[in-house]
Amino acid sequence: MVDDDPVTLTLVESALVNAGHLVWTTENASRVRQWILERDIDALVLDVMLPDTSGLDLLRSLRQDPLIGGLPILMLSARGESEDRVHGLKQGADDYLAKPFAVEELVLRVDRLVAQRPGAVRDDIGPGLEDLERSLVDRQVVGKVYFGRYQVLEMVGEGAMGMVFRGWDPRLKRPVALKTLRIQPQGLDLDRPSMISNLLQEAVTVAKLNHPNLVAVYDVAQGPKGAFIAMEYVDGISLASHLKQHKTLAQAQVVSLGQGIAQGLDAAHQHHVVHHDVKPGNVLLSFGGEVKVTDFGVAHLGNTLVSDDAKVFGTPGYLPPETLLNEGYSEAGDLFGLGAMLYQCLVGRLPFVGRTLPQVVLSTVRDEVEPPSVNAPGVSEDMDALILGLLAKKPQDRIASAREVIERLLAMESEPWQAPKGRPGESAVKRSPAKSGADEAIDKALRDGRSCQIPLIDPTVPLEQYLALVRD
């Protein structure tokens, strides 16, 4: 198996070993051909996104190799639309599994590929979904994979820093969310143990926070090849998923959501804890009607992993101008992200837009924001003033604190947050043909509100030259 996430490699390796397979894992695609030739590999599991190449490029290369061209290959990708699956299969994949996936399903698909290998003895796993489901029940793989003491039950999401799983704490008899973290210090002075130590210290600080609008952190631990965070499991959806379904929200409901988010930020800021990546994907809406902010410190860890001093880790459209100008990040940056998020809830788009990453960055630094009411009739003057105050270009010109945001929202008419009925399906997003490397990562960041490495702006460089530098 080839994947750029060491914790995912450990998780899947454990599941496949429990299923009776001998498994080799690597983060380095350059080793794959040699391993296949030396170790008589029966099947290959290959992630589309790899740090040094594209999984699709490696797939095409293997298919053209006369010595190993017939090897069964399962492709993994976060791009799960039908056109993406068709594209992967046309490139030569024997099977295609979209992330997030249930680990037991991956095991069953690998079983099927191995059985289809020339000369292999076929088992009772057939190609149909009913056969997969029946074999899943027979195998009972669920619950056999652990992170520390935590049972891993299923994958529920993926982000720029790792994956999120639903799990179970058998000691305290409660559900948990398990977030893996990619820690790859290539080109940095810090080694992996040092980074994990920094992560532990950051998480200890966050774990001290106890507030109903913050996702509680229970535990942080080092795995064999990485680290994971065990935290409160919120049965619900993210604000990002909700906005994909509903596009815009009524002001009264935005007031209620804004109060919950601001209260969480205020509790953190009082303890000098800064989020660094305030966006809809990091706001969870429980089916019980709660609003919770999650992932404190993860983006800060992401910045320690950026080896290029000319880049910053964050989410395009939510990072404040001062950060993009390499002037740091503070509580005022969290408030800027909150302002961008409230604007998006009311208008249906971010205040700073563009078709490319450089355009979004330049818009954030340069363009003045129109009041939300210009594009969303019915938004009050007070809400206009609040959002414009949060989106001021200079941090000293912004609203001073999350507490002030709460007080101003309390003066507006609000509608209690009502949890959506049922779990929303995947939104249909038109996607372009598959790309490789950084291009695909940037596309995901713009399309899905994901974090990525963003080139900083040098104030001494003309903006036109910045555009050319980023293109290069």
277 flagged as catalytic? yes
In the numeric block, which tokens belong to residue 4? 């750029």
Residues 443 and 431: their CA atoms lie apart, in Å, by 9
What is the helix (H) or strand (E) element at residue 293, kind and residue range? strand 291-293
- From the candidates 277, 295, 334, 384, give the one annotated as an active-site residue: 277
Strands 217-222 and 163-169: unpaired
CB environment 430-463: b (16+ within 10 A), e (fewer)? eeeebbbeeebbbbbbbeebbbbbbbbbeeeeee
CB 181 within 8 A of CB 9: no
In the numeric block, which tokens belong to residue 388? 């414009």
What is the helix (H) or strand (E) element at residue 268, kind and residue range? helix 251-270
Q: What is the dihedral of CA 433, 435, 438, 439, to 10 degrees?
A: -40
List the one residue out of 58, 436, 17 whose CA is nearest residue 75.
58
The residues, any chain, with a CB within 8 Å of residue 81's CB and separated by 6 or more, are 428, 429, 431
Catalytic positions, written as ranges: 277
